[in-house]
Amino acid sequence: MNTLAPQKKSLTSVKNLWRLVVCCLMGGASAAYSQGFPVKPITLVVPYQAGGSSDAIARTMVRLVGKDLGQQVIVENKPGAEGMIGSLDVMKSAPDGYRVLFGGAGSMIVVPALRRAPPFDPGAQFTPISGVIDFSFFLYAHPDLPVKNLKEFVDYARAHPGKINYATGNNQGLLTFAYLKKSLNLDVVQVAYKGETAATADLLSGRVQAMFATTAPLIHAKEGRLKVLVTTLPQRTPLLPEVATMTESGFAEFPFSPAGGWLGIFGPAEMNPEVVKVLHRSFDKALTDPDVQKQLAQAGLSYRAMGLDQMGVFVKSQRDQFHHLIRDLGIPLLD
């Protein structure tokens, strides 16, 4: 007769009961923490200069989030290094939900993918909070370039190898034109700039003849000083309804989606899940507000709502996609 069996069973039951108590306590503490959140102002770090379209969206968004949560939400601009400075700032902050990032494809995905020693892993060192904002990207051309659409641009470039100079003012523009060159076997010459403002100035003067860019040069196109040949978004934008998409122009869509880029709300790794849910709900509510939706549309932006799990998968897939794309295109890596 085994007299130890009941004793072992009793010990196992005690251990299981203890685990249950601990889980309940942790769950209760987590719920209590989220119910008390936030108890002080929240900072939204924008890793770009003040005054741009993303900054304007952020400021509209935080007013609504602050009203919803009952605490002030402050925008803090931390530009530099293609958004890396602001991204690193949030990555290193306390994971308490009081310091979050308005980051995206350029600052969180392309920046580490372009470096031999990536400063962070966007799929592991950040917590996704809210879905992404896609922004429009267009191929602009100088009026003297004798083309009206993408097909004519490709035909002209092939008939005049090495004669078209194109500007790159950001990482998205660099990747988009590099992919176009390789996929269509075009001999065009890159001229690199530190931003879209300087690149647009030289495009207007004719020093360069083409550029993939955001809506920043759009005012010049509406005034007839630039031409717009194609949009990289999967559908036409109300900003320029006459401009065709890649597929409408007879070409395949870019394999990185969307080619223009995206922005989303992120926090540091290891945030409390209940706090993430509070922030997710509030930012999603703000981004679906009619006034914000109108402002997004006017800036050529659109909100793509995502669940937290879906957003985590999206970020990791973008990380892997851009990592392979940059190496496939032979773009030199930075130290």
pLDDT tens digit string along 218-256?
A: 999 999 999 999 998 888 888 899 999 999 999 988 877
User: Residue 306 and residue 319: Cα distance in Å, rounded?
Assistant: 17
pLDDT at residue 177 greater than cutoff 90: yes
User: Residue 255 and residue 247: Cα distance in Å, rounded?
Assistant: 12
Q: How many Cα neighbours within 13 Å face the side chain of 105?
A: 22
What domains sit in the chain, N to C, each tagged with a CATH number?
Answer: 41-134+260-328 (3.40.190.150), 138-231 (3.40.190.10)
Residue 19: its pLDDT value, please? 53
The pLDDT-based confidence of 259 (bands split at 50, 70, 90) is: low
pLDDT at residue 24 greater than cutoff 60: no
Q: Cβ distance 138 to 240 under 8 Å?
A: yes
Instruction: Name the token pair of 216.
Output: 């920043």
pLDDT at residue 141 greater than cutoff 60: yes
- Degrees to nearest 5, angle at CA 167 with 161 and 168: 120
Q: How many Cα neighbours within 13 Å face the side chain of 281?
A: 9
Q: What is the mean pLDDT of residues 25-40?
A: 63
Q: Is 170 helix (H, G, I), strand (E, B) or coil?
A: coil
pLDDT at residue 311 greater than cutoff 70: yes
* 115 bridge partner residues: 334
Q: What is the pTM of this model?
A: 0.80
